[in-house]
Structure 1
Amino acid sequence: MIKEKLRNPIIVTFLLFCSFIMSAQERNISGMVTGASDGIPIPFVNITIKDKPGKGATTDFDGNYTINAATGDVLVFSTVGMKTKQQTIGTGSTYNISLETDIAELEAVVITGFDNVEERLFTGANSTISAEDLKVDGVVDVSRMLEGKAAGVNIQNVTGTFGAAPKITIRGASSIFGDTKPLFVIDGVVQEDIIDLDFDELASGDATTLIGSSIAGLNANDIAGIEILKDASATALYGARALNGVVVINTISGKRETPTTINYTLEQTVRATPKYSQYDILNSQETMSIFKEMEAKGFLTQAGVVQSRSGGVYYTLYDKINRFIGDDYTSPYSNNGFEVTNTPEYRNLYLQQYEKANTDWFKTLFRQSITQNHSLSFSGGGEHNSYYASVSFFNDPGLTIADDVKRLTTNFKNTFYLSDKFNLTLSSKASKRSQKAPGTYAKSNDVVSGEVSRNFDINPFSYTLNTNRTVRPRNNNGGLEYIWDNYAPFNIINELNNNYIELDVMDFLFQVDANYKITDKLTYNLTASGRYVNSSSEHNVTENANAAEAYRSMGTTIIRDNNPFLFDDPENPTEKPRSVLPYGGMYNKRDNTLESYYVRNTLNYKTKLNDIHDLVVFGGQDLRYVDRNQTFFEGYGMQYDKGYVPNINPDYFDKYIGEGGQYFGKSTFRERTVSFFGKVTYGYDNRYIVALTGRYDGSNRQGKSTSSRWLPTWSISGKWNAAREKFLEDSKIISNLTIRPSYGLTATAGPATNSLAIFRSESIFRKSVSQRENMLSIVELQNDDLTWEKQYETNIGLDLGLLENRINISADVYQRKGFDLIDYVNTSGIGGQYVKAMNDADMTTKGFELSINSTNIKTEDFSWSTTLNFSIFDQEVTKLQNKPNVLDLVDLTGGNVVGYPRNSLFSFDFQGLNDQGLPTFILPEGSSSITGANFQDTEDLLDYLVYEGSIEPNKTAGFSNTFNYKNWSLNMFISASWGNKIRLNPTFSSSYSDLDVFTKDFANRWLLPGDEDKTNIPVIADRRLVEQYPNLNRAYNAYNYSTARVADGGFVRMKNISLSYNFPKEFVNKLGMSKFSLKALATNPFLIYSDDKLNGQDPEFFMAGGVSYPIMQQYTLSLNLSI
């Protein structure tokens, strides 16, 4: 019994000892890590053993892992976007782990376009916009969706025409004369612009603006999210291309081992047409009373109107007075056989029908068409691949009778997981656009008088606001009624049918991304892409168009002598001008092509030591190859009504060459860059992060000297995560507090291209054809020292999370010091060039940004969240030798002067009206206070011009509220912009025609002596005043550019109001679908505030004519379903 009792403890002790030996012995532990919600394997999950630093593993592409561990060890599974999970090892050897999504960490990766950086290690200033927050149904251009969505990002819709880009700046413009828009990057590859346009060109309304957007072919439904990189640290890897910031667009990818999902979206949009009630335009009766006053003052006479270049109702009156029908002809306006009897009674009777016409040009030229945007996508994946494919079709029948747009896009992306270490992604994006627009010629400025004009401008919007309502589109019988313009018959409906642009754009990109995991810590990545874009624009002017008829109008000697479209033969100076277009019309073609290639190789080393030391080393190189070609052809004599047979007149070539034109030509642009870059990031205990980034760029666009052509850019930045310090670790209020300082150098190539001399091949024009010869003219002299535009930037940021991150606040203060900016400097002219481009300008910008996101209420059925962002900056040009003239400074796009912001607006100092009703100004000593304005003056301009402010807003804000109740969601989004000035549309002139439109200001015009004390609206000048002041047109143009014609540009706009409903899952499943939702959306429904002086003028829109239209109110119904 005693022996048995002794034996039992011995056995127990032995068993316990064996158990201890077994538990202490390590063995292979394996398994798979998947998502708890979808069961999809999760690659690259970090696996460590608790309290055993230095030991760990990572799951492979299939989510599998293997690690040596002992019984009792605790495995810790962690990865970005998922909740960390611990698993205690028992006696088994296989442990499959499912991780739950961590909502708070789901977006904790910053996608820079070069690499994906964990948010905890990211030290730059950025804004993240999810696809849900970005998407605005009914808006096709993704760049316009950014308005008000991120602090520091300013979007100005200078035109709303499809294909034309808005003006986009991040933290204000960083170049004085160069491009100011940010770099757009899609899936890691920069989207090159088809054509480079500066702000003046973007706002010009010229046909080239139709290809101004580099992302017009992107389907918004393909976007997964957008990252906006702002400071030198965030953009450092882009080096000498990131002066203006970077917008990184990440598109949707498929997921492995998921069934195929089909998603369809339909957006149907109707736009509200403009109404006269929005504008201060006089009706036809009020307009006719002004015509009567003009007639009494010696204008609108029969002799003057019939021989004039343009004429409206008075032209038709006098034309019919001179037209004999027959002795037996009678009508309400005639009793003597003429179409109108030339007596006061019959003339007034005839004009009465136009006095009552009150034509609604908006109803005539605009239409409430329905645009449709269809998008269909397929996504899914198998064991060894994942895929995503989409196709979309957008159809816009046109806001006006002159417009039409059709766009088709495709997107294919397939990722092949060829092994545990290697995956390959092949993707392609393509788009095709067909667009119709009104025929447009480039606008021009008269530097003497200050007038801005555009020949044959038939833009329906500008035509409506510049043509009075006495003019009728159709006569009493319903036929087209013609007036007189450019010395030829004109009807806007006929002109839009016979003078139009047809644009076709093809855009194709192919991309390869390869990832090879050399070790658990070292990864190699290859990104290679090729893109080809072809834009073909055909401007058709048929023989029936006014623009063609003007070239053969010579009915009278006066018209023949004054018609600028006729040809004066220099070899026969006594011969009368003759037509260069006796038959046919015009066919003008312009092609732009872009061919670009990009290759990037990178290595990324990432490790974590002792669970507290993070080290990431990233480096690589890239090559960039860009070719742009432009060809054009100006063809006269195309006979559209005769099978497109050209009728060539040799006089056309003599006229065109004599005027300095080229009737065909080709230009090429070649850009080659090579870059090397690297980044080292170190983090200690997730509290202290330091990052060093450097890049070395070389470009053929810069001067041939090494110091000019090659540029190192760099940044140093850090982050302190104060919330992990002991004094805040247990805080119930502060859940996140980080401080981010950064400093660095960024750059861009600048607008100048004369690193080598630029020549143009021309033909010398001489009277005799036999004496003409080819020549080379110097466009730009070579500048060996031409180099990059550069900028030092300091940024200090703060991120604060309160109440378990229900309130998140991000604030940044920054200072930018731009130097070596391109300046156009007046020289002595040595070498044959008086103005030369050189790196000689400086500019500083200081600013503040604030973003607040809050979850105000959150219950099981109801939630309310708010997003607010605000930004402000102050800018000053500190060095500049460029000498602008008066017109540069007073024009609506502003000019640049030392001591003022970029694109500052100046005005003539209006001093009121004199006793004759004429405007007077403070002008240089010795100049007439009425007609002494010199628009070409360049000396001492600030002595008499008044600074109004910048045309670029320096304060922006966005305010969004989202309310969710069960399956319903209501969102209201307000955008605001202020701090800028706007030049009101020019309205006043020293002489008017019976085509001109008059605003309601004219009701308060000067009429009698003494009115100068009551009004600032100038008199309608009579013959006596025109003869007394030979340059009276300068006075009225100076008034248009004076302090009296400036408004505040600030506005608050209700940008979007949307209401959506997600049908219950049970109902949707019965229909065989996984998702079904409907949304109603109003975009730009109304302005909450704008300056009353605008009188309907949109504060963002530049009314330039051509192809430009303002953004309109629109209402969209969208449907989304998934199967």
Structure 2
Amino acid sequence: MKKIILPVAIVLPMVLYAQNRTISGTVKDKEGYPVVGASVYVPNSVVGEKVTDGTISNNALGTITDDHGNFSLEVPKSAKKLTFSYDGFDTETIDLTSKSVYHVVLRSVFDDLNLKEVVATGYQKIEKRKLTSSVVDISMDKINQKGVSSVDQMLQGQAAGVSITPQTGSPGQLSSIQIRGNSSLNGVKDPLWVIDGVPMEGNDVPNLKDKNNLDDLRNYSIAGLNPDDIESITILKDASATSIYGARAANGVINVVTKRGKKGNLNINITANTFINFMPDFNRINLLNTNEKVDFELALAKRKDLSFRSGNGDVARIISAANELDNYKNGKELSAETLAKINALRNNQIDWWKELYRTSINQQYSASISGGGDRNNYYFSLGYYDEKASLQQVGFKRFNLTLKDDFKINDKIKLGVSILGASIIQNKYLTDAGAFTNPNYYSRVVNPYQLIYNADGSYAYDENINPNLRTDSDFVKFNIIEERENTQNTLKTLQMMSNFDLEYKITKGITFNSLLGLQVERNRSEKYANENSYYNRAYVAGTRYYDSSTKTNKYWLPLGGILKNSSTDFFNYMWRNSLNLEKKIGKSELSGLAGIEIRKDKKEIINTNTFGYNDRNLNNIPVIFRNSSDALDENYRPFKNLEYENAYVSFFGTASYTYDNRYTVFGSLRYDGSNLFGVDPKYKYLPIWSVAGAWNVSNEAFFEPAKEVISNLRLRTSYGFQGNIDKSTSPFVIGNYSTASITQGNTENTIVVLSPPNDKLRWEKTENLGFGLDLGLFRNRVNLVLDWYDRKSTDLITLKNLPQETGFTSTSINYGSITNRGFEIGINTTNISTEDFRWTTSFNISTNKNELISAQPSPNQKRPLGLNKPNDAIWTVPFAGLDKNGLPVFEKDGKIVSTNDFFALEDPYAAFMPGYFVQSNLNETQRLALFQYQGYNSPKWFGGLSNNFSYKNFEFGISGTFVIKKTVLAQPSYNFTQVDPGQNYQNEILNAWSPENTSSSLPRIIGRDTPEAGNAYNWFGGVDDMNTYYAFQNLAKDLSYFRFTSIRLGYNFPKEWVKQAGISNVKFTVEGRNLFVISNGHKNYFDPETYGSIYAQPIQKSVTVGFNLQF
């Protein structure tokens, strides 16, 4: 029997295969771009179903094209024709001959168009020939990069007017994104992300140059999206495009369209990538090595005039322990025994970079199944992403599940259901116990001889850390490796975004649409520090008190672990109903949209603090607070519950009229209401509207002779309003529970009122005027887009100082205004296009000028307000070099003056306590007037450049982003009045001014007792609350750079190699990300993007190897 079955098993597939043949090829548009996702099928032929009116009724013999326009399909030998279709293009049917390879060109519905014919704005799909707005439509297959956790990084440099700057290399963190500048002072400054028509909450990016923000783990809803599930991205920039989104779109809109199933046979797509994140180049930081640091400490210890933390550093400790410090300062040599101990430090060559950082191997996988017929299309995918940061014990994992089903109930009703789910795990160790506990900072300041372990294997503690926490002769012990091993910071997120949409065709040209969008997130944060961590020891030390009965120091916090849990549940729903009109009468085309939208979001946060925690038996020791003030302290409070709830209702409409495919006018109106504002009925609703128009000049009869050169010419203009919300403010009285001693010996519960009511608080508004030009040359081989805009944001919420008699220092009011004016250029060219070779280029460049027109000075202002200057202005004091004693001098009124004269310093108690009470005779206004405008932090010009090449089966691409003239401030490598022997410095400190090195431009290291120091020591050592030493003009520079964001190589295996295995396409890829950066100098920093930040993780450099299989 087995002998019979085996031949049959072998011969039967051969017989079946002989009845079929494989057809393959490519589908492109007329410019040679691949048409991704085009349906390819045999007409009048189905599996198990009959054909009606020449269309396939159910499971068609078909497939869809891959990311490169390739297809492969097994068809019966009897098949005579093959049909190709895609939205926005004419359906093409070809005759099948004896050939097995076909190259098909689909023509667009409108010949004057050169890109995808339909733009998805989130509310409606607009044909590009009717588009009056400034939008950028990006196909995901052109920007998809491997080894990238979030899609925002892929957009860098891809769109004119969109500035994207990574603030840290930590995985899962969003970049700072600005679309046409900044339109708010205190409100949301990030664009609105929209996924499949539903606005997403939770994507506001804080300033990650702030250490407190860097220490926290955050989840962003867009980071939960698998980039392999994205079909396309549309960036909406001007008022006519964004006003339909109402009061959250003043910063632009990024609309993401995810993949859906398409008509055709089952399509399976599998992608696997392995990528390596490389350890940063630490040579850029230029730190002192062990020998240099020991010699430097010896030089400091010898100086009598230095007293700032003079006991720090192992050299000073060794000398002090031998009772030789005074003799050494008086010029005597150290004993041989002491010198031997000091020189022994030189043998401690600790590579702290390798102890804290790593080269990591990471993984990325995704698999999808899609297909469909006339009645049902489906898409299902799974994704897994695991990235370990170059910083040890920092990682980001994401699991994705996507399910989409589209049903055609009948000729009138269509239903769609989609679920995008994600589970995200982020982990690191606790870094918020102090500045030095941040590993990026600690690696800069730890002494190169500092041991990690003692000879007996125990941890060696850094005695130079936080001398303020010393208790008697002891200190709070810190070892960053011990800290890494004994603390953990984990954020787990479950995220689901669901859409349910209904389309009902009332009659020809009129449809009713209903969309219900749900966003659910559950975040669970856990911070744990056991009793062997500095975090724990410092926490306990903070509760020290003196017990007068025992005359000893005690601690009211129990011993044991510290567990901090935070639970955040977020729910957001949006229900939108609209009527859509599409009507053509002769040469006139009318379209319209009218609807209502209700939206509500609710967030509940529960924070708990548990002390004396045992992670083995899960028990804890209750805290016995000394008083109610301790119990209400945020650091120790056992429980805290917060709830936020915001509701919105909106009415909206759009109308468009196109005549003869030449002239288009467009208008939109939206009316927003919210519980955030509206105490005064006049400000309850915010009307947002826009009008726009476009002229297709190239469709005019008089333009026909020029079409050989100018293929397409369109002029656009728009005017309208955008809106914004500052959720941090409220028109109501805001207070916190607290306690106070109203009468002696009695503590009462109180409410501390934080802000007074303001019933006039209202929405922020942005007025927008824009002009644009779309130009296609030489049969659209060269495409140019120009845009100019003028935006004015008014009613911006800013703080206003209040008289003291009101009981408040300040309140929020609508007072501020900002303008943004800019120009954008985008160019796409097809340089060479032959059957085997193709080379295309994409280039964009933009400039934006931002000005602060009106604002209120904030309390305790540290820098000038800067009216009529950019909102992100950089202010410096006019440092003019050093005097004959190596101390800073400044330029004032055209003269070079001393520190004393520049700041008008005096020492009123110099007669009996010299140097302890230095003060300035200048008032706050006069001191602010000492600053001068240096430039602004936003780039003057920015953009991107991409080149893509294909030769037969090979593909090569290189992309980069650039910035021209961005003013930045470096951190000074040392404070010349506070040089701490216990920390490391960059090696330029060895070139500081000294009597033997008078040509140096770096200030002299001085102490309180330096004879020539005068008042400079106290002023720059802490008296100056404006920190002018960190604003010296020599620290500022205009930074320009070009970063190669992606260099990629791909190879598509020949079809004849893979078709026998039943595979339609196999592609192998290699990609390098952020491998090179060219700049005019970012000395002492890893990256131009993180210049000036000493806490941020470096931008990751990576190489990815992967493959893609399609069945």
The answer to whether TM tops 0.5 is: yes
- Whether 2:567 is the aligned partner of 1:567: answer no
TM-score by length of 2: 0.84
Question: AA paired with 1:385?
Answer: N
SS class of match (2:507)? coil
- Whether 2:966 is the aligned partner of 1:987: answer no
SS class of match (2:89)? coil
Q: Which residue of 2 aligns with 1:313?
A: 314
Q: Which residue of 2 aligns with 1:863?
A: 838
SS class of match (1:691)? strand
SS class of match (1:426)? strand
Q: Check 1:464–1:843 CA distance in 2 against 1; reply closer, same or farther (3 A cut).
A: same
- Whether 2:1091 is the aligned partner of 1:1096: answer no
Question: AA paired with 2:1046?
Answer: N
Alignment of 1:26-41 (within 5 A): 37-39=40-42
Q: 1:549 aligns with which of 537, 543, 558?
A: 537
Contact residue 306 and residue 1010 of structure 2 kept, 8 A: no
- Whether 2:929 is the aligned partner of 1:926: answer no
- 1:948-975 CA distance string (max 9 Å, x none): 2112223211011111111111111121
Q: 1:292 aligns with which of 283, 298, 304?
A: 298
Q: How far 1:241 sits from its partner (Å)?
A: 1.5
SS class of match (1:692)? strand
Q: Which residue of 2 aligns with 1:68?
A: none
Q: 2:260 aligns with which of 245, 253, 262?
A: 253
- Measured in 1, the distance between the counterparts of 2:245 and 2:215 equals 28
SS class of match (2:477)? strand
TM-score by length of 1: 0.83
Question: AA paired with 1:226?
Answer: I
Alignment of 1:209-608 (within 5 A): 210-211=217-218, 213-256=220-263, 258-298=264-304, 305=311, 311-314=312-315, 317=318, 344-441=335-432, 455=434, 457-475=436-454, 479-484=458-463, 485-486=465-466, 487-551=475-539, 565-568=542-545, 577-581=553-557, 583-608=559-584
SS class of match (1:429)? strand
Q: Which residue of 2 aligns with 1:897?
A: 866
Q: 2:931 aligns with which of 927, 933, 945?
A: 945
Equivalent pairs counted in the alignment come to: 992
Contact residue 698 and residue 704 of structure 2 kept, 8 A: yes
Q: Which residue of 2 aligns with 1:14?
A: none
- 1:803-828 CA distance string (max 9 Å, x none): 11111000000100111111111121
Q: Check 1:1059–1:316 CA distance in 2 against 1; reply closer, same or farther (3 A cut).
A: farther
- 1:434-484 CA distance string (max 9 Å, x none): 12112133xxxxxxxxxxxx7264222221122231222234566532222
Q: Check 1:188–1:820 CA distance in 2 against 1; reply closer, same or farther (3 A cut).
A: same
SS class of match (1:764)? strand
- Measured in 2, the distance between the counterparts of 1:639 and 1:437 equals 21
SS class of match (2:984)? coil
Contact residue 751 and residue 822 of structure 1 kept, 8 A: no
Q: Which residue of 1 aligns with 2:16?
A: none
- Whether 2:988 is the aligned partner of 1:1001: answer yes
- Measured in 1, the distance between the counterparts of 2:397 and 2:93 equals 55
Q: Check 1:724–1:35 CA distance in 2 against 1; reply closer, same or farther (3 A cut).
A: same
SS class of match (1:912)? strand
Q: Check 1:793–1:996 CA distance in 2 against 1; reply closer, same or farther (3 A cut).
A: same
Question: AA paired with 1:901?
Answer: P
- Measured in 2, the distance between the counterparts of 1:765 and 1:437 equals 42
Alignment of 1:706-785 (within 5 A): 706-730=681-705, 731-764=707-740, 771-785=746-760
Contact residue 188 and residue 248 of structure 1 kept, 8 A: yes
Identity %: 30
Q: Which residue of 1 aligns with 2:22?
A: none
RMSD: 3.4
Contact residue 174 and residue 205 of structure 2 kept, 8 A: no
- Whether 2:1064 is the aligned partner of 1:1074: answer yes
- Measured in 2, the distance between the counterparts of 1:885 and 1:303 equals 30
Q: Check 1:1090–1:408 CA distance in 2 against 1; reply closer, same or farther (3 A cut).
A: farther
- Worse-superposed segment, 829-838 or 995-1004: 829-838
Q: How far 1:1000 sits from its partner (Å)?
A: 2.2
- 1:250-286 CA distance string (max 9 Å, x none): 0000013x22211111121111112332222121111
Question: AA paired with 1:272?
Answer: F
Q: Which runs of 5+ in 2 are unaligned?
A: 1-36, 46-52, 61-83, 95-103, 324-332, 467-474, 893-900, 908-914
Q: Which residue of 2 aligns with 1:25?
A: none
Question: AA paired with 1:1096?
Answer: Y
SS class of match (1:1050)? strand
Contact residue 274 and residue 1106 of structure 2 kept, 8 A: yes
Question: AA paired with 1:961?
Answer: N
Contact residue 217 and residue 426 of structure 2 kept, 8 A: no
SS class of match (1:286)? helix
- Whether 2:165 is the aligned partner of 1:165: answer no
Q: Check 1:804–1:391 CA distance in 2 against 1; reply closer, same or farther (3 A cut).
A: same
Q: How far 1:321 sits from its partner (Å)?
A: 6.9
Q: How far 1:1019 sits from its partner (Å)?
A: 2.1
- Whether 2:799 is the aligned partner of 1:817: answer no
SS class of match (1:568)? strand
Contact residue 385 and residue 398 of structure 2 kept, 8 A: yes
Q: Check 1:668–1:1099 CA distance in 2 against 1; reply closer, same or farther (3 A cut).
A: same
- Measured in 1, the distance between the counterparts of 2:596 and 2:375 equals 30
- Measured in 1, the distance between the counterparts of 2:922 and 2:122 equals 47
Q: Check 1:695–1:298 CA distance in 2 against 1; reply closer, same or farther (3 A cut).
A: same
Q: How far 1:614 sits from its partner (Å)?
A: 0.8
- Measured in 2, the distance between the counterparts of 1:704 and 1:1032 equals 48
Question: AA paired with 1:297?
Answer: R
Q: 1:908 aligns with which of 877, 892, 898?
A: 877
- Measured in 2, the distance between the counterparts of 1:636 and 1:947 equals 50
- Worse-superposed segment, 666-675 or 586-595: 586-595
Contact residue 628 and residue 668 of structure 1 kept, 8 A: yes
Q: How far 1:1103 sits from its partner (Å)?
A: 6.3
SS class of match (2:423)? strand
Contact residue 792 and residue 818 of structure 2 kept, 8 A: yes
Q: Which residue of 1 aligns with 2:941?
A: 955
Contact residue 1039 and residue 1080 of structure 2 kept, 8 A: yes
Q: Which residue of 2 aligns with 1:54?
A: none
- Whether 2:172 is the aligned partner of 1:184: answer no
Q: Which residue of 2 aligns with 1:629?
A: 604
Question: AA paired with 2:482?
Answer: N
Q: Which residue of 1 aligns with 2:151?
A: 142
Q: Check 1:1111–1:302 CA distance in 2 against 1; reply closer, same or farther (3 A cut).
A: closer
